[in-house]
């Protein structure tokens, strides 16, 4: 969802270079395969995925991906790319070697988000209108349907524990799926859980509650949750497993809250001078990237001091980001300017 920004931030560029690549109409999601140095950008109104070669910073393929696709996930082990199309209620499977479609898999109603467990080669698809998760076998493309809470709109996998978590917007809870048995349990959260992220190393799951100004931190060992306040209208979260920290953006408060995973407390709240729109973390360099809609820019924060180390222009309404921690490249999908900015 695009939220119009209001504030203005002056940005200068000094440490990073950037390159813009046309990626179709209204790019809304991006994912990276660090093994192949390829990035995949989902363009909703072009009904396609643009494949970017990160080494040459060029678009090398455009792949059809259903009607108005939205979500994307990658299995780097099998080199397969999965794209969710809500209007089709289907997932397009792309071979990362040939950049061709190899299958289209039917899911539940209005699939928006998906996540992959590469260890067992399974893909988990959150069906917002179907109140369910479709499990796709990555080898055979056979499916299983699991009933979860109302309106799952975000999903994440902890491949270490083989558990899957959904943020259920309508039922104010998170569903916890056992990947071995497909058994489901519910963990209460705040009102309208909107986004979710997992720290596999610490076994903590962060559920962003949009209308409760909070984040529910689920302990993966006990499935118990602790809720902490983070500011008005939180909507995005990123995790650095190397430092056991989570970073949460708030739209109304124009802030980034820093959560210490060990104590489960907010240790810092940084005021941003414009409404943020997306966040990503490079765990190798301990850098935090924050996209801002109004200024069409990306800030780079140092993860120890939270000082701004750089800033650069992006396109109009930078909407989604992904980091390639191996190469250090950052991909910014610009919703309103129909291109992706590659920061390197």
Q: What is the pLDDT of residues 282-302, one digit of tens each?
A: 999 999 999 998 899 999 999
281: CB partners within 8 A, 6+ apart: 238, 239, 240, 247, 287, 288, 289, 303, 323
What span, in angstroms and rounded, lies between the C-alpha atoms of 336 and 133?
A: 31
Q: What is the pLDDT of residue 13?
A: 40
Vertex 245 angle, CA 294 and 243, to 5°: 120
Residue 15: pLDDT band by 50, 70, 90 thresholds? Answer: low
What span, in angstroms and rounded, lies between the C-alpha atoms of 133 and 139?
A: 18
What span, in angstroms and rounded, lies between the C-alpha atoms of 11 and 246?
A: 25
Evaluate if residue 5 carries a pLDDT over 60. Answer: no
56: CB partners within 8 A, 6+ apart: none
Homologous superfamily of 18-343: YVTN repeat-like/Quinoprotein amine dehydrogenase (2.130.10.10)
What span, in angstroms and rounded, lies between the C-alpha atoms of 118 and 343?
A: 27
Give the CA distances from residue 124 to residues 15, 82, 104, 181, in Å, rounded to whole numbers and listed in that order. Answer: 38, 10, 15, 14
Contact 290, 298 (CB under 8 A): yes
Q: What is the pLDDT of residues 48-99, one digit of tens each?
A: 999 999 999 999 999 999 999 999 999 999 999 999 999 999 999 999 999 9
Average pLDDT over residues 35-44: 98
252: CB partners within 8 A, 6+ apart: 231, 232, 233
Give the number of other CB atoms < 10 A from CB of residue 210: 21
What span, in angstroms and rounded, lies between the C-alpha atoms of 288 and 244?
A: 14
Count helices and strands in the chain by DSSP H and E runs: 0, 32
Average pLDDT over residues 7-18: 51
E-assigned strand segments in 34-151: 38-43, 48-53, 58-64, 71-75, 80-85, 90-95, 100-106, 111-117, 122-127, 132-137, 143-147
What span, in angstroms and rounded, lies between the C-alpha atoms of 191 and 189?
A: 7
What span, in angstroms and rounded, lies between the C-alpha atoms of 126 and 124?
A: 7
| Residue 37 backbone zone (phi > 0: left; psi -120 to 50: alpha; other: beta) | left
Contact 28, 333 (CB under 8 A): yes
Vertex 44 angle, CA 109 and 316, to 5°: 135
And the tokens for 64? 């059809």
What span, in angstroms and rounded, lies between the C-alpha atoms of 234 and 246?
A: 13
Q: What is the CA radius of gyration of the chain?
A: 18
Q: What is the pLDDT of residues 184-207, one digit of tens each?
A: 999 999 999 999 999 999 999 999
Give the number of other CB atoms < 10 A from CB of residue 304: 8
pTM of the model as a whole: 0.94
Chain center to CA of 270: 21
Evaluate if residue 8 carries a pLDDT over 50. Answer: no
């Amino acid at each position: 969802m695009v939220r119009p920004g209001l504030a203005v931030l002056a940005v200068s560029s000094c440490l990073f270079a950037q390159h813009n690549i046309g990626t179709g109409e209204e790019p809304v999601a991006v994912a990276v395969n660090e093994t192949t140095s390829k990035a995949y950008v989902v363009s909703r109104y072009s009904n396609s995925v643009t494949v970017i070669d990160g080494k040459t910073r060029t678009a090398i393929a455009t792949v059809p991906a259903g009607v108005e696709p939205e979500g994307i996930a990658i299995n780097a082990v099998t080199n397969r790319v999965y794209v969710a199309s809500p209007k089709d209620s289907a997932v397009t499977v792309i071979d990362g070697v040939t950049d061709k479609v190899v299958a289209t898999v039917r899911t539940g109603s209005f699939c928006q988000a998906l996540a992959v467990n590469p260890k067992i080669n399974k893909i988990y698809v959150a069906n917002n209108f179907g109140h369910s998760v479709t499990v796709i076998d990555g080898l055979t493309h056979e499916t299983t349907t699991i009933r979860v809470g109302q309106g799952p709109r975000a999903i994440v996998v902890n491949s270490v524990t083989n558990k899957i978590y959904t943020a259920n917007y309508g039922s104010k809870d998170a569903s916890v799926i056992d990947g071995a048995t497909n058994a489901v349990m519910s963990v209460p959260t705040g009102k309208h859980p909107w986004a979710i992220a997992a720290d596999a190393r610490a076994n903590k799951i962060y559920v962003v509650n949009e209308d409760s100004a909070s984040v529910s931190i689920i302990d993966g060992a006990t499935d118990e949750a602790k809720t902490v306040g983070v500011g008005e209208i939180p909507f995005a979260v990123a995790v650095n497993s190397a430092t056991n920290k989570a970073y949460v953006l708030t739209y109304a408060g124009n802030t980034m809250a820093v959560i210490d995973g060990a104590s489960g407390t907010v240790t810092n709240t940084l005021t941003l001078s414009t409404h943020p729109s997306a966040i990503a973390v490079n765990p190798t360099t301990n850098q935090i990237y924050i996209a801002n809609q109004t200024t069409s820019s990306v800030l780079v924060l140092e993860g120890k001091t939270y000082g701004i180390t750089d800033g650069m222009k992006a396109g109009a309404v930078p909407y989604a980001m992904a980091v390639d921690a191996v190469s250090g490249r950052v991909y910014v999908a610009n919703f309103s300017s129909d291109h992706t900015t590659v920061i390197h």
